[in-house]
């Protein structure tokens, strides 16, 4: 019986083995990782499509809620036409803020105008304002304060808890437009 190595030289078997191992290495190193990467990309695409479909379904609802929120906000925060504080109204500053605090069920502490801004040279009057009460009432107070026609802006807000109480103390520095 003749051996196969006599018919086909051993060198050809070695070359065939090297080629087969090269093809196997190419499959393992190039095709298989790309296949798993492709599967991962397909999963991400499906997740993205699902999110896109959900957003397309929810977008009309979002627009409706957004429209309703803008209407509600404009009703609450309808700002009056801005005016300047006259000299006569300067004397009523504590009474004005005491009334706003009373309407919001807060205890009025103080409304002290800054002496340096009382001169006619400054166009803004700085007032240190203090009230006490529940945190929820502060929201209503800030909304009412926003509706004061000569309020330019609120410069500083400090909230402190009153010891042994659920009440809070709100100290603010506000700027009022003055004539």
pLDDT at 161 over 70: yes
Give 69 or 17, the one with higher predicted confidence.
Answer: 17
If pLDDT is split at 50, 70 and 90, which confidence band does 6 have? Answer: low
* Percent of the chain whose pLDDT exceeds 90: 21
pLDDT at 9: 75
Q: Concatenated DSSP letters for 85-110?
A: B-HHHHHTHHHHHHHHHHHTT-EEEE
- Compute the average pLDDT of residues 13-18: 85
- Compute the average pLDDT of residues 87-113: 88
If pLDDT is split at 50, 70 and 90, which confidence band does 44 have? Answer: very high
pLDDT at 107: 92
- Compute the average pLDDT of residues 49-77: 80
Q: Could you tell me whether strands 151-161 and 124-133 are parallel, antiparallel, or unpaired per DSSP bridges?
A: unpaired
Give the Cβ contact number of residue 170 at 10 Å: 21
Q: Residue 37 and residue 26: Cα distance in Å, rounded?
A: 16
pLDDT at 46 over 90: yes
Closest by CA position to 144, among listed 129, 166, 159: 129
pLDDT at 42 over 90: yes
pLDDT at 70 over 80: no
Q: Residue 125 and residue 89: Cα distance in Å, rounded?
A: 12
pLDDT at 49 over 90: yes
Instruction: Give the tens place of pLDDT for each residue, 128-158.
Output: 999 998 888 888 888 888 888 888 888 999 9
* Percent of the chain whose pLDDT exceeds 70: 89
pLDDT at 14: 85
């Amino acid at each position: 019986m003749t051996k196969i190595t006599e018919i086909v030289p051993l060198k050809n078997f070695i070359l065939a083995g090297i080629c087969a191992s090269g093809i196997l290495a190419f499959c393992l190193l190039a095709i298989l990782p790309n296949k798993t990467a492709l599967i991962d990309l397909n999963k991400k695409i499906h997740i993205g499509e699902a999110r896109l479909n959900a957003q397309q379904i929810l977008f009309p609802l979002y627009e409706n809620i957004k429209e309703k929120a803008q209407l509600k906000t404009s009703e609450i925060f309808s700002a009056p036409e801005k005016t300047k504080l006259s000299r006569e109204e300067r004397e009523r500053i504590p009474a004005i803020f005491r009334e706003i605090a009373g309407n919001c069920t807060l205890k009025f502490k103080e409304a002290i105008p800054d002496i340096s801004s009382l001169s006619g040279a400054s166009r803004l009057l700085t007032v240190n304002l203090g009230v006490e009460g529940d945190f929820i009432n502060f929201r209503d107070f800030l909304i009412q304060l926003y509706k004061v026609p000569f309020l330019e802006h609120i410069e500083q807000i400090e909230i402190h808890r009153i010891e042994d109480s659920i009440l809070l103390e709100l100290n603010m520095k506000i700027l009022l437009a003055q004539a």
